[in-house]
C-alpha cells in the first residue's frame, strides 16, 4: 500500500488507536485492528469536501488593511490507488474585507498521478502541468520508512487528550477535543514526520490552539471511514500581528472499490503547458 493510500487512512486509524486507551478497551482495540485490515482492501474511493475558513488580522499589517477574510472551498473527486490517479473538481470563493479588492470565484479541475500533476488555470481554463520539482515534493512528502501503519499511528498515541467512542446500529463514531500544549506538540511532530519545515519552532511558540474538535464515522460492516468533521481555532502572534484562523472541514467518502478505472485524458496530457513559477527574489 503506497503512501498516498496511507495518507487517506492514517487520520482515521491513528485516532482509533488513541481510542484504545479511553473507550471500551478490547472493543476499541478490535475496531482498530479491523480498520487497519480493511484499509488494505481499498482500491478506489469517491470523496466530497466542504471547507469554510475565517481569518482575522489585527495589529501591524505593514501598510495593508487588516480585518477579516473568509474562504469557502468545495471539492468532489475520485481516487484509485493502483496505479495512483486522483481526479477532482474544486470551487473556491474568497471574500475580503471592505478595503481589499474583490477576488472572483474560481473553479479548477485537477488530475494527479505518481508522475505528474495537471490542473486547469482558474483564470483562463487551459490545462497546465506542474513542474517536476513540485511533483517530486509531493511524492517524497511521506518518506518510505514512515509508510508502515504502525510507525505513522504511533506518533498520535500519546497526544490525544480525550477520546470518546459511540456505537450505533450502522456506525462507530469517534470524537476528540483538544487544546493547548498537547495539540501544539502533535502539530509539530506531524510536520517533522512529513519531512516539512512548514511549522518552525519559533512559529509554534507563537501559536495558540484555542480549540480542536474532530469527529468521524466508520461503517460497522466494512470498517471504512465515511465522514470526517474537523474544526480548529488557532491564534498566531508574529511581528506585531495577531492572526486568528477558524476552519471547519467536512469530508464524505463513498463508493469504495466501485470507481471505474481512471486515466488522464490524452488531450490533457498532450495540450497541457508547463506551469511557470516566478523566481523568489534574492535575500
> Tell me: the pLDDT tens digits for 195-218?
444 455 666 677 788 888 878 888
Residue ranges of the chain whose pLDDT lies below 70? 1-29, 32, 60-66, 97-101, 134-163, 178-204, 277-283
Cis peptide before 142 (omega within 30 of 0): no
Distance CA 68, CA 56 (A): 4
Distance CA 96, CA 101 (A): 7
78-107 in b/e burial notation, b at 16+ Cβ within 10 A?
bbbbeebbbbbebebebeeeeeeeeeeeee
Q: What is the pLDDT of residue 155?
A: 46
Q: What is the pLDDT of residue 128?
A: 93
Name residues whose C-beta falls within 8 Å of residue 25's C-beta, 6 or more positions apart in sequence.
none
Q: What is the pLDDT of residue 186?
A: 57
Sheet holding 106-113, edge to edge: 163-167, 171-178, 207-219, 225-238, 241-254, 44-59, 67-81, 84-95, 106-113, 117-120, 127-129, 273-274
> Tell me: the pLDDT tens digits for 75-125?
999 988 888 899 999 999 988 866 666 778 899 999 988 888 899 988 878
What phi and psi, each to the nearest 5 degrees, are found at residue 165? Answer: -125, 125
22: its cell numbers: 479511553
Is residue 164 within 8 Å of residue 213, measured between CB atoms? Answer: no
Q: What is the pLDDT of residue 69?
A: 87
Strand pairing category for 117-120 and 106-113: antiparallel
Amino acid at each position: 500500500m503506497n503512501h498516498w493510500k496511507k495518507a487517506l487512512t492514517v487520520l482515521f486509524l491513528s485516532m482509533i488507536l488513541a481510542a484504545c486507551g479511553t473507550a471500551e478497551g478490547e472493543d476499541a482495540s478490535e475496531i482498530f485492528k479491523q480498520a487497519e485490515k480493511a484499509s488494505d482492501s481499498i482500491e478506489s474511493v469517491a470523496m466530497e469536501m466542504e471547507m469554510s475558513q475565517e481569518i482575522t488580522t489585527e495589529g501591524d499589517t505593514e501598510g495593508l488593511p487588516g480585518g477579516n477574510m473568509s474562504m469557502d472551498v468545495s471539492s468532489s473527486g475520485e481516487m484509485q490507488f493502483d496505479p495512483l490517479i486522483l481526479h477532482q473538481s474544486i470551487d473556491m470563493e474568497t471574500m475580503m474585507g471592505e478595503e481589499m479588492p474583490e477576488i472572483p470565484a474560481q473553479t479548477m479541475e485537477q488530475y494527479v498521478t505518481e508522475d505528474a500533476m495537471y490542473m486547469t488555470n482558474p483564470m483562463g481554463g487551459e490545462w497546465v502541468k506542474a513542474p517536476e520539482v513540485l511533483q517530486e515534493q509531493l511524492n517524497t512528502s511521506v518518506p518510505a520508512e514512515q509508510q508502515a501503519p504502525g510507525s505513522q499511528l504511533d506518533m498520535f498515541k500519546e497526544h490525544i487528550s480525550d477520546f470518546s467512542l459511540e456505537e450505533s446500529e450502522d456506525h462507530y463514531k469517534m470524537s476528540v477535543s483538544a487544546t493547548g500544549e498537547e495539540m501544539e506538540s502533535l502539530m509539530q511532530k506531524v510536520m517533522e514526520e512529513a519531512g516539512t519545515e512548514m511549522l518552525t519552532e519559533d512559529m509554534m511558540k507563537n501559536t495558540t490552539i484555542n480549540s480542536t474538535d474532530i469527529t468521524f464515522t466508520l461503517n460497522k460492516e466494512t470498517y471504512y471511514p465515511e465522514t470526517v468533521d474537523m474544526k480548529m481555532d488557532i491564534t498566531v502572534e508574529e511581528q506585531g500581528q495577531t492572526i486568528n484562523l477558524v476552519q471547519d472541514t467536512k469530508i464524505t467518502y463513498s463508493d469504495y472499490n466501485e470507481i471505474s478505472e481512471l486515466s488522464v485524458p490524452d488531450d490533457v496530457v498532450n495540450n497541457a503547458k508547463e506551469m511557470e513559477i516566478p523566481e523568489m527574489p534574492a535575500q
